[in-house]
Structure 1
């Protein structure tokens, strides 16, 4: 079964690789990316306005959700002190809602990055630069209410940028939560390293094939690779001294 799966994976990879090779052969390599222009500036602005509307809509939902979570937590505390009933199910629901608010704060930035990608792929002019900055600023500011909410939800939460922030945050978790968090972070760290390596390779090839100097992007990716890999290794080594 594993052999068949491996063969099918290799076959699928060969087919996809062949299709990509034919595409590059018919479109002068990566140069077709630098020549794309599929939307006028007015259309790009409309997409930007839609992104802003989505961010504002998510912000309104997040504010309502945060208020709802704090209300549920107060009710749970009151019920526990009055009747000493089991509240595990309510705690789980509140934890899931709390997780949802943290995800929403990341979605703001994701939406702004998607718009940046749209503008770059479209090869829009410098007139879109200010528009991109405005959307990124709105996305960044929209995440501020979450920082205030976290302190109201649990005053023990460390403030962002506080010394030993990660250690203090992990200390708030029980052993099971710490295990899940650390395992997830390690898997993400490993995948990030692989994606950065792939990004360095592809961006270097793109620079050579398109004739457009991408040294700035390659330098950033190399720095991220060095920090992501060796920063982790040195932190681990510190505990064995």
Structure 2
């Protein structure tokens, strides 16, 4: 079973926030009633601009009408709950706002949640995973999917330094390999989608590519946004 890695899923959403003033929300649409639409969005310390952010994000989610959103950087859970109250077709889930936490928003009419939980939560994994990956076990139209939401460590100099435990690229490299290990062990025959803000570049040379072990397993793993990474927009 092919596993899909996505660190730029529907990146147009991030562009939309800058151009919506010139466009009616009603003009936005995506997908069909029979397709599974999932979106990842680093929402940047939600709500960065208070009620204005809540109102805009609510309107964008309603207009896009996707089935599942994997959210990064929820800073205020009370205002997140307020937004969910306004999204009548959706429910949400988060563990906490610790270090701008992860969350899911999903359409209750078409998404059946079996379980949501975090992995790699104990202290030995805090360096590779500043925010513990959040797993959603769910069904869509009778088909099971495993979704894993992530927000990897940011920054760095573009070079892997395995001798430095604090090196940002090394932390992301370890995180990628731990995710692959977990998926290979627990979900070898499942439909798995890994997504989120992975904070690195797919096209780095092999010596410094934090995703290299996954790239080296094309029979089992696919990067859905590789074409974007290799295209002119990545420059």
Query: Under a length normalisation based on structure 1, what TM-score does the superposition of the two structures give?
Result: 0.28
Higher strand share: 2
Higher helix share: 1
Structure (1 or 2) with the larger CA radius of gyration? 1
